[in-house]
Chain A
Amino acid sequence: MNYVHRCMIVPVAYAEAARQLAALAAGPAGEGMFIVPLSADGQEPATHYISVGPVGEDMAVLLESGDNVYAAIDAATEGNSPYTLEQCQALIDACDISEDAAEVALARLGLQVVQSEPLA
């Protein structure tokens, strides 16, 4: 497996769908994505979520279009995709997917990580 770098930022309205689709398409490798919240001032509430780092080349192909995502989900669920083609296309259209480092993408979009001090 070869890996390529991708930075993916998804609006909060699509975050749950993005998590589910990533897990469906990639299995364990796609689970646990989009857990880091973002906002313009670094304060809650979050407006976006980010995942950044290496993805398999096959995953990178999926991210190129909603059609690819839908096809992968449809195959993985043996024709029982919980999302329509239109929903997959809307998700990809709403996401910012780039080869940028996180700080570059965040600066470009005017976002920063929401820093929440863990409560003990």
Chain B
Amino acid sequence: MSIQIYQMAPAPDGLAGDELVPVSQNKLTRAVPVSAIQQAPMDAADAAGLAAQQAQETADEAGLAAEQANTDLATHKTSGDHDDRYLKLDQVVTAPAVGKTPKAGEAGTISQAWIDGLVNELKYLRSVAENVDWSSPMPLWADGQDGLWYDLPDFSTLFQDANGLTPVTSWDQPVGLGLDKHLGLVRGPVLNPTPGPFVSIGEWKMQGGTLSVVDGKLRGTANEGVARAFYFDLPVTIGTTYEVSIEIDVGTATAPSIASWIGIDTPSLTYFPDTGTRRKLKIIGRATGASMRVRIYLSTGSSVEGAYMDVVSTTVRELPGHHFYQPTTTARSTLKQDEFGKYYLKPDGTDDYYNISGNLDLNTSLIGFAHGALSGSSAQSLLSASSGSGYLRSIGGEFDRYTSTTRFPSKTRQSVLLQPNGSGRYTVFEDSTGASALCGLHSEGGLGGTLFLGSYRGASAMSATPLYGLIARTGVSTEAERRQVLKLLDNYLGEVTR
């Protein structure tokens, strides 16, 4: 085993991912992100046996790179609050010159003490990296304020489809659903009265068969004839997001792997992903009517008389929050990873956008988002509402709300806060570097109701702006809260353009 100093090697956007390469293969041109050091393979025991020649070669390379890195640090570091997130390379390798530099194949003169010192330094830096508190924005909503928080690096919140069936597992995958974390992803209580284990059939019904309770499970036995199915109806609230979980035992049914739905924006038929005896399905959708029907088929064709299937459990829960979603596959953005290892949504600028579930009034709110370079001379809508006349847009590389008299210049990588100043017609823009502007609003309609991310009402002005994160909280904010939001958003970017 050997030890190496690693750095992130940028890859062309959309072609390949970043990878860690030894500095001896690729000179550092910037500070080393902590995340890179975290990922560097290090083992203290192995490091103790480090070959002196390799260590010295690494140190030589690092020494040269450190000078460059420190020079670049001045232009690439984030705001003053974040200096600790970027480690000068001379902190990584404090290489005291011990004797001459050994040549390849020549006996080294580096002492074991120096190697031990290097190992200890790296262990310390690793512990720092692992214990950095990036701070959660959760206290922003502690008093029950409405809002949203899209945390793209948390893949558990992202799905390739709009119904939570296919998780996002890597960059370069489409994103059809992103869950809002501002309420902690806590599901609501079970809404259906008889979810299982079963002691009675409750609200369940069956098409063309009979229901019974067997060993705590709900058994449906088919009559001979057309497709048979269990089902129940449940009152729901239009626009609210629900999560339905179903668990079945297939029994002797012939095609028991399909569920169908009414009153929720899911595919009409959904296949269970499992193939064993016990099968589970979880789906997320928005209610489109006042009643939802959950239906589980024993068969899609004719049933054999006496064939049965058991429902082990079925739950319907609300999934509170303002989740972003896009049912239309071609209108979904792609998750990308940039040269700093940071994740972002990349809309194509042609037809990509998202709906935001539920109604949300952001007219008197703190809105913060981390973004990449704005592009295009035409207007692009970053946020808009189904009603009201205002929308947040970019045009010619500047931000404003329709139709402002003052615009806020954007930067290549930037965290931006917007906050109404109380007059209802003006919004303060500021970023994490201290730049700010007061932009006029066109009217007081603003951002309330059903919101759209990346388009004007889902119909035009599609945005091409890379989105790294979005946080919003209704109500008046404090200076400390604004700093906290900017700090978290800066972390999504890794490096911020000053």
Contacts and interface: CB of A to CB of B under 8 A. Distances in A.
Interface string A81-120: 0000000000000000000011000000000010111101
Contacts of A1: 160-161, 165-166
A50 B390 contact: no
A27 B285 CA distance: 14
B420 interface: no
Given A50-B351, A53-B352, A120-B443, A32 B379 contact: no
Give the most central of B329, B332, B456, B458: most A CB within 10 Å. Answer: B329
Interface string A22-59: 00001111111101100000000000001111111001
Contact of A54 (B334, B442, B462): B334
A9 B267 CA distance: 25
Interface in B252-297: 265-268
Give the most central of B161, B162, B384, B391: most A CB within 10 Å. Answer: B161
A120 B442 contact: yes
A53 B332 CA distance: 7
B79 interface: no
Nearest to B461: A118
Give the most central of A35, A101, A120: most B CB within 10 Å. Answer: A120
Contact of B327 (A28, A36, A117): A28
A35 B459 contact: yes
Nearest to B393: A118
Nearest to A118: B456
B386 interface: no
Contact of B328 (A30, A101, A120): A30
Interface in A45-76: 50-56, 59
Contact of B174 (A3, A50, A52, A102): A3
Interface residues of B, number: 42
Contacts of B378: 115
B379 A117 contact: yes
Give the most central of A29, A33, A59: most B CB within 10 Å. Answer: A29
A29 B330 CA distance: 8
A118 B331 CA distance: 19
Contacts of A102: 348-350
Give the most central of B328, B330, B402, B458: most A CB within 10 Å. Answer: B330
Contact of A118 (B162, B173, B379): B379
A120 B162 contact: no
A108 B415 CA distance: 37
Contacts of A53: 174, 329-332, 348, 350-352
Contacts of B458: 32, 35
B391 to A, nearest CB: 7
Given A120-B389, A120-B391, A56 B329 contact: yes
B101 interface: no
Contacts of B351: 35-36, 50-53
Interface string B318-334: 00000000011111101
B403 A120 contact: yes
A10 to B, nearest CB: 12
B404 to A, nearest CB: 12
Interface in B121-173: 160-162, 165-166, 173
B348 A52 contact: yes
Given A50-B350, A117-B379, A118-B402, A3 B461 contact: no
B460 interface: yes
Given A54-B174, A116-B460, A32 B160 contact: no
Given A53-B348, A117-B379, A31 B457 contact: no
Contact of B402 (A52, A54, A56, A120): A120
B65 to A, nearest CB: 36
Contacts of B267: 27-29
A33 to B, nearest CB: 6
A56 B349 CA distance: 20
Contacts of B165: 1
B445 interface: yes
Nearest to B441: A120
A102 to B, nearest CB: 4
A36 B456 CA distance: 12
Nearest to B265: A28
Interface in B368-384: 378-379, 381, 384
Contacts of A59: 329
Q: Which 6 A-B pairs have the closest CB atoms?
A: A120-B389, A53-B330, A32-B328, A118-B456, A28-B327, A54-B174
Interface of B: 160-162, 165-166, 173-174, 265-268, 327-332, 334, 348-352, 378-379, 381, 384, 389-391, 402-403, 442-443, 445, 456-462
Given A52-B350, A53-B351, A118-B460, 20 more contacts: A1-B161, A3-B160, A3-B174, A28-B265, A29-B267, A29-B328, A30-B328, A32-B328, A32-B331, A33-B330, A33-B331, A50-B350, A50-B351, A54-B330, A54-B332, A55-B330, A115-B378, A118-B402, A118-B456, A120-B443
8 contacts: A1-B161, A3-B173, A29-B162, A29-B327, A33-B328, A54-B330, A120-B403, A120-B445
